[in-house]
Structure 1
Amino acid sequence: MDNSKQRYKEFGDFLKTRRARILPSQVGLPEGTRRRTPGLRREEVATLSGVGLTWYTWIEQGRPIQVSTQVLESLARTLMLDKQETIHLYTLAGQAPPTSFPNYDESVDPMLQHVLDSLEFSPALIMDVRLNVIAWNNAASKLSLNYGKINIYRRNILRIMFTNEDFKKTFTDWSSAAQGMIARFRSVYSKFIDDPWIEELVSELKRESKEFDLWWSMHNVKTEDTRFKSIIHPVLGKLDFEETSLLVADNTSLRMSIFTPLAGTDTKEKIKQFLISQNI
């Protein structure tokens, strides 16, 4: 067997082993009772990755298929590959590995999580440079959105802003908030202009949201700053916050956003009573 044939076979075998270890529930699919093999089916991987079943089957069979970086990124995301596995995947496919990686870890350093949890009455999130939400506190889950119930691969605040109707309803002025988020994301986008993951996200949102498609085309940019924000809670009504965004000192690819109850309002007392009433 020549080297190229061996590489294609290794590529296919690697995909099969990674597919076998993923539980359907990990990607938002029902477990079912008629599965003959562990893990995901080929058709499920193909669908989740946005590729054709026949084409994906040929890849697993070790046929000489040329795979783009966009498809490799999708496969790495679907199969929950870590950094080393992703590099291995790209190498087997004959593509240069990416220079940066989306952070899909479901946990952060325990010390960082402790900081979040200590902010009892201030919703707080930690996001990576692509705006993937990777950590949050109880106040964020109870007052804004239960991020733990969102599939890890869809837990991106920009995607949530434009596709989650419940999240939209929490804004007193969703249009302004959404346009501001696009403008801030534009500043990030300029640093990752060739990033296949971001290109795929932008393309997806342009298809799914006419507002995103319109506002993205305006090329407005805005840097992070301290902002005031109001949300509408279904029980508590209007809540007013100061939003502060801070880089994480030992990992500047992460940013912590803290929503502190605005002084001079009854926001903190409302939140306090609400959380106590739920025995949180």
Structure 2
Amino acid sequence: MTTMQQEARPTEIRRHELAGFLRSRRERIMPEDVGLPRGRRRRTPGLRREEVAQLSAVGVTWYTWLEQGRDIQVSAQVLDALARALRLDASERAHLFALAGAIDPTPAASCATLTPELRQMLTQLEPLPACVQNSRYDILAHNRTYGLLLCDLDDIPPEDRNCMFLAFTNERWRSSIVHLDDVLRIMAAKFRAGMADHLAEPAWKTVLKRLLDESAEFREVWERHEVVQSLPSKLKHFDNAYVGPLAVVHTDLWLGRGGGARLVTYTPADETTRARLDRLQELALGRARVGSPAPS
């Protein structure tokens, strides 16, 4: 067997695994589950291929080739559409993208360590504001105190919950940051340094494109080509809309190898801040009691 044949074999195996996986997920969904008529002459268990193609807005021929294990390229956007059409859960979605050799651009999908135990830890850390972020600043989960630290985070759509994006585009978030210019410059420099290892990944390119499209300030900072590495802890100052000035120590605790996701905590630097964080937690809990959304 030649070297090229040896290299091609794992790819071929993965294509056939992908084909079988798609077929099995398709066959478990009944037409009535997705609002389609069953009809009288249905022999196929579950959905037909053309019905999956219709639900995911892709070509029937293209989807058929995918289920046949043919060597075709598939984008993250199409995989996302298929995952939704086939009603895949988080584990199945991750498996789909892995078999297709693609990166899932959905923020939460990139954090395999976002376990129920970690979510419980976020709650137990209160009144300390805490969240889980990945290296491109997506906020994957947060506790209630963090939800009121810089803005009303529960009012922000999940796809916009990125610290970089909010710092450059959301006025409420920006107004809470003391020394904003320095913070923006450092964040952009850290993002550039981190992106060096992810230049081809759709999720990173999506964040960068949104920033370039929507913030002239970011475009100006980005053109400086500054880079800086993360520090283990640092003093930060916020001007919170509910309780006033806060002085906190920011600490990153990395949750796995490769600098993927991290637990971000803010501990009070003085007693005044400690008391104000207690008050912020009370406000957040009060909102929860009257029916505000639970923390992510």
Task: Give the TM interval when normalised to the shorter protein.
Answer: 0.5 to 0.7
Q: Judging changes above 3 Å, is the alpha-carbon distance between structure 1 residues 57 and 181 closer, same or farther for their aligned structure 2 residues?
A: same
AA paired with 1:255? R
Which of 265, 269, 278 is the matching residue for 1:262?
Answer: 269
1:145 is aligned to: 151
What aligned pairs does 1:167-186 form with structure 2 within 5 A after superposition?
Answer: 167-186=173-192
Q: So what's the TM-score if we normalise by structure 2?
A: 0.63
Partners of 1:101 and 1:278 lie apart in 2 by 27
What aligned pairs does 1:1-280 form with structure 2 within 5 A after superposition?
Answer: 56=57, 58=59, 69=75, 71-72=77-78, 75=81, 82=90, 84-85=92-93, 88=96, 96-98=101-103, 102-104=107-109, 108-225=114-231, 226-248=233-255, 253-263=260-270, 266-276=272-282, 280=286
Q: Deviations over 1:102-146 (max 9, x none)?
A: 434899323222222222232111112332211111211133234
Is the CA contact 1:171–1:230 (under 8 Å) kept in the aligned structure 2? Answer: yes
Q: Report the Cα offset of residue 191 of structure 1.
A: 1.1
Is the CA contact 1:15–1:60 (under 8 Å) kept in the aligned structure 2? Answer: no
Q: So what's the TM-score if we normalise by structure 1?
A: 0.66
Q: Report the Cα offset of residue 279 of structure 1.
A: 5.9
Count of aligned positions: 243
Structure number with higher relative contact order (C-alpha < 8 Å, ≥ 6 residues apart)? 2
Partners of 2:192 and 2:267 lie apart in 1 by 25
Is the CA contact 1:107–1:134 (under 8 Å) kept in the aligned structure 2? Answer: no
Q: Which runs of 5+ in 1 are unaligned?
A: 1-9, 21-35, 38-55
Q: Judging changes above 3 Å, is the alpha-carbon distance between structure 1 residues 221 and 14 closer, same or farther for their aligned structure 2 residues?
A: farther
Partners of 1:270 and 1:139 lie apart in 2 by 11
Identity percentage over the alignment? 18
Partner of 2:132, secondary structure, is strand
Is the CA contact 1:106–1:135 (under 8 Å) kept in the aligned structure 2? Answer: no
Partner of 2:252, secondary structure, is strand
Partners of 2:113 and 2:256 lie apart in 1 by 17
Partner of 1:239, secondary structure, is strand
Q: Which runs of 5+ in 2 are unaligned?
A: 1-19, 37-56, 67-71, 287-296
Q: Judging changes above 3 Å, is the alpha-carbon distance between structure 1 residues 221 and 129 closer, same or farther for their aligned structure 2 residues?
A: same
2:52 is aligned to: none
Is the CA contact 2:131–2:265 (under 8 Å) kept in the aligned structure 1? Answer: yes
Structure having the higher Rg: 2
Q: Deviations over 1:23-47 (max 9, x none)?
A: xxxxxxxxxxxxx88xxxxxxxxxx
